[in-house]
Amino acid sequence: MSKYWDTYHETMSREQLAELQLKRLKALVERVYTSVPFYRQAFQEKVYPLEILNLWMI
């Protein structure tokens, strides 16, 4: 495997890609929600991290 080509991630289906993106987005949102007051306030005004169910909600 080349350092620039990851066969698994480069060839995954759209559904798998969307699942991976959602998983990573949820992890990121949870991390900034718990550790950055600015983002905590911003999310509380719009949506709580646990309410994110899919990529099209945001």
Tell me whether residue 8 is in a domain.
Answer: no
Tell me whether residue 46 is in a domain.
Answer: yes
Grouping H, G, I as helix, E, B as strand and the rest as coil, residue 11 is coil
Tell me whether residue 13 is in a domain.
Answer: no
| Overall pTM surpassing 0.85 (yes/no) | no
For residues 10 and 4, what is the distance between their CA atoms, to the nearest angstrom? 10
Tell me whether residue 10 is in a domain.
Answer: no
Strand ranges (E), the chain: none
For residues 1 and 28, what is the distance between their CA atoms, to the nearest angstrom? 28
Greatest CA separation found in the chain? 44
**Predicted local confidence at residue 14, as pLDDT:** 92
How many domains, the chain?
1
**Predicted local confidence at residue 29, as pLDDT:** 86
The encoded tokens of residue 41 equal 């306030």
Q: pLDDT digit string (tens) for 13-39?
A: 999 999 999 899 889 988 998 999 998
